[in-house]
Structure 1
Amino acid sequence: MSKNLEIALLCDFYGELLTEKQRDCIVLYYDQDLSLGEIAENTGITRQGVRDSIKRGEATLLEMEEKLGLCRRYRQMYQGLERITQEAKNISLLNDNYNSSAEIERSVKAILETVKEIGE
C-alpha cells in the first residue's frame, strides 16, 4: 500500500488522537492533495510549521497503529469476509449443480446476509 493511502487510512482510524493542527495539516496534505505552501497559506502557519505538524502527526499515527493494530485488524477482517463470501457462493453453486437442497441455500443466504451486515 502506498504511503499516502496508508497515512490517510490511519488518519481515519486514529485522527481524533492527533492535535487539531496535525489532523488538519494531514487531511489537507493527503486527502486534499495540497502542497505545504498552500496549507501554510490556508492555515496561517509557516511552511516549516506545516511540515513539522505533518511529520509529528505521521509519527503519532504510525505509533498508534503499531501499538493498537486497529487498521491491520480491519484489513484482516475485510479480507476474511471476502473469503467467506466467495466460499458461500461456491457452496451455493455446488448445491445448484449437485444437490439443490433448499436448506443449504437458506444457510448460504444467511451467511451472505451476515457478512453484509458485518461489512457495513
Structure 2
Amino acid sequence: MAKNLEIPFLLDFYGEMLTQKQHDCLVYYYEEDLSLSEIAENEGISRQGVRDSIKRAEAQLFDMEERLGLAKRFNEMKKGIDEIVECADNINEYNLNHTLSMEVNDNVARIKTLASFLKEG
C-alpha cells in the first residue's frame, strides 16, 4: 500500500475527528512507520482490518479537508506571512540605502517579529 505523504499533515488538523482506532492506525502507519502486520498485532485485529481502517480514515481526512479547507488555508496563510517578511526586508533594505529612518527600521523589526510569531503559532 503506497503512502500518501499528505496524510500526516491532514492528521494534524483533523485527527481528533477520527475514531480512536482510525487515529491510532494512521499514527502507527504514517508517523511510526509500522507495517500493516505490526499494527494488526498491536491492535489485535486482522491485517485487512488495519488496511480498511486506514483507507476509511484517509478518505475521511480528505473529505474533511475538502469541506473545511483548514490545511489549505493554513498553507495560504503561511505563504502570505512569508511574503510579508519579504516585503519588510525590501522596505528595510530601501531604508538602509536611502532614508535611514529609525522609525521605519523599528517597524520593520516589529513586522518581522509578528510574522514569526504568527508562522509558529
TM > 0.5 between the two? yes
Stretches of structure 1 lacking an aligned partner (at least 5 in a row): none
1:94 Cα offset (Å): 1.2
Correspondence for 1:87: 87
**SS class of match (1:45):** coil
Give the distance between the partners of 2:75 and 2:69, measured in 1 at CA: 10
1:23 Cα offset (Å): 0.3
Correspondence for 1:112: 112
TM-score (norm 1): 0.94
1:5 Cα offset (Å): 2.5
Letter in 2 for 1:53: S
* 1:20 matches 2:11: no
Stretches of structure 2 lacking an aligned partner (at least 5 in a row): none
Q: Which digits, 9 at most, give the CA deviation of each residue in 1:48-73, with x for residues without a partner?
A: 00000000000100000000000000
Identity percentage of aligned residues: 54
* Cα RMSD for the two superposed structures: 1.0
* 1:72 matches 2:93: no
**SS class of match (1:4):** coil
1:104 Cα offset (Å): 0.8
Give the distance between the partners of 2:55 and 2:18, measured in 1 at CA: 12
The count of corresponding residues between Structure 1 and Structure 2 is 118
- Runs ≥4 in structure 1, deviation > 6 angstroms? none
